Every structure is written in structure tokens, then in C-alpha cells.
A = this chain, B = another copy of it.
Amino acid sequence: MNVSFCAKLASLRAQKSSVLCVGLDPDPAKLPKHILSRYPTGEAVEHFCTSIIEATAPFAIAFKINFAFFEALGDRGLSIMRTVLSSIPPGVLTIADAKRGDIGNSARFYASSVFDDLGFDSVTLSPYMGQDSLTPFLNYPGKCSFVLARTSNPGGNDFQTLNVAGQPLYSHVAKAVSGWAQDQPGTAGFVVGATDVSSLAQLRLELPEAPFLIPGVGSQGGSAADVMKAAGSGPVLINSSRAIIYASDALDFAQKASEQAQITQNELGS
């Protein structure tokens, strides 16, 4: 019997008094110069990410790996991602931030790659192609699929808030996806940005038990206290990427990332 993602999340939250997820978005242009001068780009990214993981793991209960930055490394990108992933301590959750969304036949291959081959605990998905694009992921017991609902980027206002029969599109999406996952409780989570606290509170009312992955605390704005209040008592991971991993670009980058992770953990509470 697989332990559910939500059960692991609740256990880690209690154990570490943390809801913090550290997002790994390794942009070579932002890495510490001493690393870039010592290693080729791929190795620099690997060294940077494993150092950040080691420094911040005491304060985080999840790491989110952004596929864009590894794909940009070319043919060796997936192998470097695998090395980074293997440096994440056991018991800390992993999120494949890949925003997949394709027809059922293709989705099965993406799901197998992310869950079976790479061994991630969870993934981010785009809902636009509907049920058959999501169910191959939702059918993995013990895993969680965070479906984009209300995102924190500027373009999150372009389509997600459109009025569909009196409710915003993101609310319609989240409720439909929850319904599709009802035979596999806990496998459907949602990405809900910290920048729109009232939407977050409304979605939490509608889906009291769904895990929410909440980006937008830190670089993209959104106060920790307001976000935690709106997220209520349901399962949450609060993601911070740039504010932590780029806290310094000097020799002390890992120490500063560690300090910033601890500060963020404390601000968020548990």
C-alpha cells in the first residue's frame, strides 16, 4: 500500500515545523561567478543545485525542480537533473515542475518518465486539454499532480479569471479535476498563486482537503502571513525560488540561501 502524498506532507510538516518548498530554477546567468569560472555550465548548475539542496534541506519539506533550466542544458540536461534529484535527502518531497499537458497516449509516456523513471513524488500539469491529459498522472497512487489553477504570473489574469457561468475559469477547472480524481484521493493538487490571496481563500473553501502548491511568495510578492491565513488548514507547500537560491552570488551563496530558507520557514510558520 502506497502512503499518500498528503500523508507524507502532513507528517513532514509536523516533524519539521515547515511548509517550505525550495524551487530550483538554475539560471546560469545568475549563478555565483566563482562557480561559473571553475566549471562548465552543466557542472556549474549541478554543483550549485546540490549545494543549495544541502544548505536548505533542514528548513524545507519539498524541492521543486524546474525542467526548463535543465532542458536548456542540452543533451546532458536530464542526466544532470537526475544527479541533482539524487542529492535530495530521503523524506523530502520532490516536485517535477514540467507543466505537462498532452493527449492520453502521450500523457502516459510523460507520466511514466516523471514517476517511474525519474521517481518524482509529484508533478505540475496544465489542464487545457482536459481529463484524458490528466488521468494517466492521477492514476498513480501515492503521487500528486498539481494542476495549474490560478497562477501568480502576470498572464495568470488573461484566461484563468474569465467568467464561466458565474465563476472564474480556475475555479471551474479545479472542481472538475477534483471530481476526476475522486477514486484516487489526494492525487489531485492545485497550483494557486500567492499573489491573489482572495482567490486562494475562495479555492480553499471549495476544496478544503486538496493539496495546494503556492508560488509567488518572495520574488513575485504576496505576504507570508496573508497567504498562510488564506490557505487555511488544508495541505500546502509554499514555494520560494529566487529569493532563496539567489540570496547571494558570492562565495557565501549557500550560507545565505540557508539563512533565507530559515527566515522564510519562520515567516510562514507551520
A99 to B165, CA, bound (A): 28
User: With A109-B72, A128-B128 as given contacts, are A176 and B158 in contact (CB-CB < 8 Å)?
Assistant: yes
Q: Tell me which of A4-12, A129-137, A229-237 binds B.
A: A129-137
Which B residues are CB-close (under 8 A) to A100? 99
Q: CB distance A156 to B169 under 8 Å?
A: no
Residue of B nearest to A154 (CB): B132
CB-CB contacts below 8 Å: A148-171 with B: 148, 151-160, 162-165, 169
Which B residues are CB-close (under 8 A) to A133? 153, 155
Q: CB distance A173 to B159 under 8 Å?
A: yes
A78 to B126, CA, bound (A): 22
CB-CB contacts below 8 Å: A66-106 with B: 66, 68-69, 71-72, 74-79, 82, 97, 99-106
Which B residues are CB-close (under 8 A) to A102? 66, 68, 97, 99
A204 to B226, CA, bound (A): 46
On chain A, which size bracket covers the interface? 35 or more
Which B residues are CB-close (under 8 A) to A154? 104, 130-132
User: With A99-B126, A148-B128, A153-B133 as given contacts, are A162 and B160 in contact (CB-CB < 8 Å)?
Assistant: no
Q: CB distance A155 to B130 under 8 Å?
A: yes
Q: Tell me which of A48-56, A110-118, A181-189, A206-214 binds B.
A: A110-118
User: With A69-B106, A110-B68 as given contacts, are A132 and B153 in contact (CB-CB < 8 Å)?
Assistant: yes
A197 within 8 A of B: no
Residue of B nearest to A157 (CB): B130
Task: Report the 6 A-B pairs with minimum CB-CB distance, sorted nearest first.
Answer: A130-B155, A130-B158, A68-B106, A68-B109, A103-B153, A72-B109
Besides A99-B126, A128-B148, 18 new A-B residue pairs in contact (Cβ under 8 A), listed by A number: A27-B109, A71-B78, A72-B110, A74-B113, A75-B79, A78-B78, A97-B102, A103-B153, A104-B153, A104-B154, A127-B159, A128-B128, A130-B155, A133-B155, A159-B169, A159-B172, A162-B165, A163-B164
